[in-house]
Structure 1
Amino acid sequence: MEVGAVYYNANSQWVLNIVLASMILGVALDIHWRDFKAILKMPKAIIAGLSAQFIALPAVTTGLTLMLDLQAGIELGMILVASCPGGAISNFVTHLSKGNTALSISMTAAASALATFMLPINFVFWSQVNPETAALITSIDVSGQALFINLLIVLAVPLLIGLFIQHRWPEFAKLLHKVLKITSLLALAAFITIAIYRNQDAFMAHFGLIFTVVLAHNAIAFLLGFGAGKYAGLSTRDIKATTIEVGMQNSSLAIAIVFTQFNGEAGMALISAFWGTWHIVSGLLVSFLLSRWGVELSPTVQETRS
């Protein structure tokens, strides 16, 4: 089933690039070196979660796209979302689940930093494994090498600038983070709202298909996070953190990449937009279920940042 064209205004390209850069800068401004130090106290949990995040999820997602007969843009959108790091809202949802919030925060910090090079590596590599998605990238005249370099620059430069500002001027970083957190999200939300309004027929026409795909894909992500924690023999609270961290992808980042790198490709835009809405709903549902499962404290990890 082909997805119709999605309205895209090329003149807004520079605006979206600024929004994407501000999103990454805002994340970096809230990453503290103590978050990375905390990783040394829980290496097994961090490795388990990040392995599910950056290795298992993209690989399983690509396998899923090879099994299903979907439009290439939808499959490419699934691979892009799977290549993204967890979203910051996962920390709040982990807290609601009575999971290990400190582990969630450390995983988010580590994943955000690793995504600088792991996102382009995973996305370019796995999109070439699937012949359909590889052909789509070629058809829209996007070079895999050029895409890797562009993503690396777009993600790495704001991240490095943010880390430098946070280290050198922590108070200013705190203030700037609060501003960017609001403005970048409002700008992205406004753009998505306009895009959905102008393409409401395309969204509604494919709602059933896209929702089913996102529902199944998101469920797999949660299961991979849960399975990784179980396999690593983590405590209940740590498993809750890995489950939610892997299950809640930074789909806002995926949406920004779709419009800055792929000219708003229809299938990719629909998948990313639906993920952005559904993973919040599913995250809250999962947190409610997990909050009723076990309350023992991890013997090695403190709940608060140290």
Structure 2
Amino acid sequence: MIPDLLPLVADVDSIKIAFEEGSLTTLKIVIGAILFGIALDTRLEDFAVAARRPGTIAIGVVAQFLLLPALTFGLTLLLDVRGSVALGMILVACCPPGNVSNILTHRARGDVALSVSMTAVGNVLAIFAMPLNVAFWGALHPTGKAVLEDIELSAWDMLSEIALVIGLPFVAGITIARLWPVVAARAGKVVGPVAFLGLGAVIVVGVANNWSIFLDYIGVVVIAVFLHDALALLLGYGIAKATRLPDSSTRAMTFEVGIRNAGLGLLLVFTYFDGLGGMALVAAWWGIWDIIAGLAVAQWWRSRTTTRRSQEAAA
């Protein structure tokens, strides 16, 4: 490790990221809007599609809620990161996918129907699985458990927050999509993009208000987030290949496992962890880097497919 970073690594557990109450309320509204947008694009038929492909959905569920948190735990031990950074990585790994995974799957010419159904199932399961996963893996971590003990985090408290932020917007969105599909179709084209712009604005404002801390400490989490994001994408790709899914389904699985709703993680950091430095930095930087890496992979797949089709047409 670079010598100049050693004092920062030691200190990252003690710093707090300033986040005003008004900004936290805005973040809650934005995350709720993102989930509302996902639900507007979800139909009850998507769950029926999932029921007709139980094996594939089960593979995705195992990868997202069992394997990714476990592998993340192992990565934090391998990198020997501080407790707050380890908890940030575990928290992000336990987050559900967002509809960015659907957009990237579409861009990569993957199985969008599978992606949408997996996103719907994943967000419903995350209401219960996420708080239990965070509490379980965090309590096992040699340095992270001390942070959890200081905060006295309750899995049930987190469950109620996630149910509020995910459950209510999701139910409302699906209900509107069911009763007024035309309204849902039009609103879905606006709500999702606006919500993501809002999330980006909240992150930018948060970084600007804590610019000196960001500059001093971002180097502590850059490598960890890069490796963690690569691990998540490779897990989705690897498990799809290992179970011999078709190429289009492999692309969907890659993004469903690799793309996490880090905005939700950021909300929980400020709600329950008092803006704990390492956790906030991991969640914020993951939310930025995950999209950059996802777009790069999607574009590579899209270009590869276009080239292959051109070759087949020429032949």
TM-score range normalised by the length of the shorter chain: 0.7 to 0.9
Change (3 A) 1:120 1:243: same
TM-score (norm 1): 0.87
Change (3 A) 1:253 1:145: closer
Secondary structure in 2 aligned to 1:185? helix
In 1, Cα distance between equivalents of 2:244 and 2:147:
41
2:202 corresponds to 1:197: no
In 2, Cα distance between equivalents of 1:37 and 1:132:
43
Aligned AA (1:260): T
Change (3 A) 1:210 1:90: same
TM-superposed CA distance for 1:295, in Å, is 6.9
Change (3 A) 1:105 1:237: same
2:105 corresponds to 1:94: yes
Aligned to 2:82: 71
In 1, Cα distance between equivalents of 2:172 and 2:295:
33
Secondary structure in 2 aligned to 1:124? helix
Aligned to 1:283: 294
| Contact preservation (8 Å) 1:94, 1:287 | yes
TM-superposed CA distance for 1:218, in Å, is 0.7
In 2, Cα distance between equivalents of 1:17 and 1:40:
31
Change (3 A) 1:24 1:139: same
2:118 corresponds to 1:107: yes
TM-superposed CA distance for 1:220, in Å, is 0.7
| Contact preservation (8 Å) 2:18, 2:209 | yes
TM-score (norm 2): 0.84
| Contact preservation (8 Å) 2:105, 2:111 | yes
2:255 corresponds to 1:225: no
State the Cα deviation string for residues 160-218 of structure 1 (Å, max 9, x = none): 23222322333333344444324433332222111101212222222333110011001
Alignment of 1:22-33 (within 5 A): 22-33=33-44
| Contact preservation (8 Å) 1:44, 1:232 | no
Aligned to 1:262: 273
Aligned AA (1:82): A
Secondary structure in 2 aligned to 1:206? helix
Selected match of 1:139 from 150, 154, 158: 150
| Contact preservation (8 Å) 1:35, 1:105 | yes
In 2, Cα distance between equivalents of 1:101 and 1:20:
23
State the Cα deviation string for residues 233-281 of structure 1 (Å, max 9, x = none): 1112211221122111111222222223333222111111111111111
Aligned AA (1:180): V
TM-superposed CA distance for 1:116, in Å, is 2.0
In 2, Cα distance between equivalents of 1:176 and 1:42:
29
Change (3 A) 1:186 1:62: same
Aligned to 2:127: 116
Aligned to 1:300: none
In 2, Cα distance between equivalents of 1:131 and 1:169:
51
Aligned to 2:5: none
Secondary structure in 2 aligned to 1:264? coil
Change (3 A) 1:95 1:144: closer
Deviates more, 1:208-217 or 1:280-289: 280-289
Aligned to 1:304: none
TM-superposed CA distance for 1:6, in Å, is 1.6
Change (3 A) 1:50 1:144: closer
Unaligned runs of 5+ in 1: 297-306
Secondary structure in 1 aligned to 2:143? helix
CA RMSD for the aligned pairs? Answer: 2.4
2:165 corresponds to 1:154: yes
Deviates more, 1:263-272 or 1:129-138: 129-138
How many residue pairs align between the two structures? 296
State the Cα deviation string for residues 3-60 of structure 1 (Å, max 9, x = none): 2332222354433333333332232222111212222343322222222111110111
| Contact preservation (8 Å) 1:137, 1:143 | no
In 1, Cα distance between equivalents of 2:253 and 2:108:
12
Aligned to 1:84: 95
Aligned to 2:30: 19
